[in-house]
Amino acid sequence: MLGALTLPTTPLSHHRIPAIRRRKFPLTGVRVVASLPDNDGVKLEYTPWLIVGLGNPGNKYHGTRHNIGFEMIDRISQVEGVRLNTIQSKALVGIGSIGEVPVLLAKPQAYMNYSGESVGPLAAYYQVPLRHILVIYDEMSLPNGVMRLQPKGGHGHHNGLKNVMDHLDGCREFPRLCIGIGNPPGTMDMRAYLLQKFSPEEYDQVESAMEQGVDAVRTLVLKGFTDSITRFNLTQKYKYHKV
């Protein structure tokens, strides 16, 4: 069983993460070679993806703005039929596939600011390359319900994302899906805003965003950063501002 696996005790290496060897991804029987589009009817094999949602564990944080990464993982789990039923590396983990591509879904349970303590060891153990570590998190610089999918970037003062980067030896070359939650109104304290639940109107926008987000994640996993992702970002940018 997955839960019985023992993680390596050696430090995470920047050079070891991108290096994928031919091996079996647990429980799938899929041989790992490369992640490429399926062209000319040729069946290709794929590297696994590690898809991580950032949030805080516990009922008191459920439904808050800062936990939208957790909600996205739950939504992907439901749609793709990947059960989150194992604890590994301080994370609630589910293993399965999107299409024929093996995926590992994870919700770190060591609180937001220590998310990297799960991401680093999981990436190292399963030898997931940086380009296949997708981190999903909340973003105050985007309007509520607006998303952006990028192949790399900084942490933008998001403590959870910063901790992930710290545990990937400072690397920033991994994909991220950020979901807008807007800025605190007036002089409201930022922490209080992040830990506040959405209003009914705000959550309607978030629900719609998550539906679109599942499709975007599926497209990314199956096809990579293609024109479809570019169109997704452009549509998101103007979804509430018609021009």
Active site residues: 66
Do 66 and 55 form a contact (C-beta atoms < 8 A)? Answer: yes
Please choose, from the candidates 137, 131, 132, 183, the residue with its C-alpha nearest in 3D space to the C-alpha of residue 161. 137
Beta bridge partners of 134: 51
φ/ψ (deg, to 5) at 46: -130, 150
Distance CA 168, CA 185 (A): 34
Distance CA 157, CA 163 (A): 10
Distance CA 72, CA 100 (A): 21
Do 93 and 86 form a contact (C-beta atoms < 8 A)? Answer: yes
Please choose, from the candidates 101, 238, 91, 64, the residue with its C-alpha nearest in 3D space to the C-alpha of residue 167. 91
DSSP 200-212: HHHHHHHHHHHHH
Distance CA 193, CA 158 (A): 14
Do 24 and 30 form a contact (C-beta atoms < 8 A)? Answer: yes
Please choose, from the candidates 52, 217, 57, 213, the residue with its C-alpha nearest in 3D space to the C-alpha of residue 126. 52
